[in-house]
Amino acid sequence: MSAAKQTHKHERYKGEYPIVVEGLTNRFGPITVHENLDLKVRRGEILGVVGGSGSGKSVLMRSIIGLQRPNEGDIRVFDKSIIQAQPDEEIGVRDRWGVLFQGGALFSTLTVGENVEVPLKQFYPEIHETLRKEIARYKVLLSGLPEEAVRKYPSELSGGMKKRAGLARALALDPELLFLDEPTAGLDPIGAAAFDRLTRELKETLGLTVFLITHDLDTLHEICDRVAVIADRKIIAVDTVPKLMELDHPWIQEYFNGPRGRAALTAQALDELRKHMDLPIAQHAVKALDKPPAGKDKA
């Protein structure tokens, strides 16, 4: 490894916005998915990204990580333009993010440990095999999997374990940015809540900035610092959930204040109140709220 590359590895981004998207337009034939879309992601936040099905959440993520070349606009990650860089050009940012794609995208013929080794081999071919395996093992444990998962194949894992294995691979290179595309989709509520907690803990202990695409209202309420809403081919609002709920855009109202939104809010209120059960008022409120609401639309 060159000295320059080595120095770069230890320099973390200190600016305010590690991701800046300006005037982004993406078209597929006659369909315009994004038009003049702007977004700034703050360093150290978990930014939730929501929008209707087909509104362009995944295309936005793919644009930011350089997998989708937009028709117009600029995207800067760590102040470096992703658009102007050639796909295979070394611009020194591709090893500073980790991505958990929808469904995990693990290599089925490799064990979990070997999956985690893939990016290490790609970006640090000089690392000795013993150390590489040790780093992979550590990332698997960091993702909340048991030791024996290292030697298992993806087909031997439950849905939740696969997500964690995908997360371990996303963390392989000690990234500063973590992209998660629907991480809790397909998990039961307990598994989803555990994955949310893990995301929050990792963000805090590793100082990550997290770009999180989700439909999961519990995730939005529980762990997102801010939420960006895609509608009408743009980001129409970026704010905390309570502030978004005050906006009168029809999609936002339907999403956050509809039955599923209210159920998620009640669940969050209950979690908070249960931390204060020594207070009679909390006991009283929990009793009142802890009834299944009539006609609750189960998320």
Ligand X SMILES: Nc1ncnc2c1ncn2[C@@H]1O[C@H](COP(=O)(O)OP(=O)(O)OP(=O)(O)O)[C@@H](O)[C@H]1O
CB of 210 to ligand X, least distance (A): 17
- Return the number of the residue (57 or 132) whose C-beta is nearest ligand X: 57
- Return the number of the residue (39 or 173) whose C-beta is nearest ligand X: 39
The DSSP bridge partners found for residue 24 are 37
Contact pick of 19, 20, 24, 55 for ligand X (by CB under 6 A): 55
Q: Return the structure tokens found at 266.
A: 């009640």
CB of 34 to ligand X, least distance (A): 9
Q: Which residue's structure tokens are 């960006």?
A: 228
- Return the number of the residue (56 or 73) whose C-beta is nearest ligand X: 56
Q: Which of residues 96-125 bind ligand X (CB under 6 A)?
A: none
For 106-144, b/e burial (b = at least 16 CB within 10 A) is: beeeebbbbbbbebbeebbeebeeeebbebbbebbebbb
- Return the number of the residue (53 or 86) whose C-beta is nearest ligand X: 53
CA dist 155 and 232 (Å) reads 39
Q: Which of residues 123-162 bind ligand X (CB under 6 A)?
A: none
Contact pick of 18, 56, 166, 183 for ligand X (by CB under 6 A): 56
CA dist 222 and 229 (Å) reads 17
CB of 291 to ligand X, least distance (A): 32
- The reply on whether position 59 binds ligand X by CB under 6 A is yes
Helices (H), 57-111: 57-64
- The reply on whether position 30 binds ligand X by CB under 6 A is no
Alpha carbon of 173 to those of 94, 125, 167: distances in Å? 10, 12, 11
- The reply on whether position 63 binds ligand X by CB under 6 A is no
- Return the number of the residue (149 or 264) whose C-beta is nearest ligand X: 264
CB of 46 to ligand X, least distance (A): 18
- Return the number of the residue (70 or 144) whose C-beta is nearest ligand X: 70
Q: Which residue's structure tokens are 């009640």?
A: 266
The DSSP bridge partners found for residue 49 are 213, 228
Contact pick of 28, 148, 158, 246 for ligand X (by CB under 6 A): 28
Contact pick of 2, 53, 155, 205 for ligand X (by CB under 6 A): 53
Q: Return the structure tokens found at 78.
A: 């760590």
Backbone angles phi, psi at 86, to 5 degrees: -70, 150
First CA to last CA distance, the chain = 49
Q: Are strands 31-41 and 19-28 parallel, antiparallel or unpaired?
A: antiparallel
Binding site for ligand X (CB under 6 A): 28, 31, 33, 51, 53-59
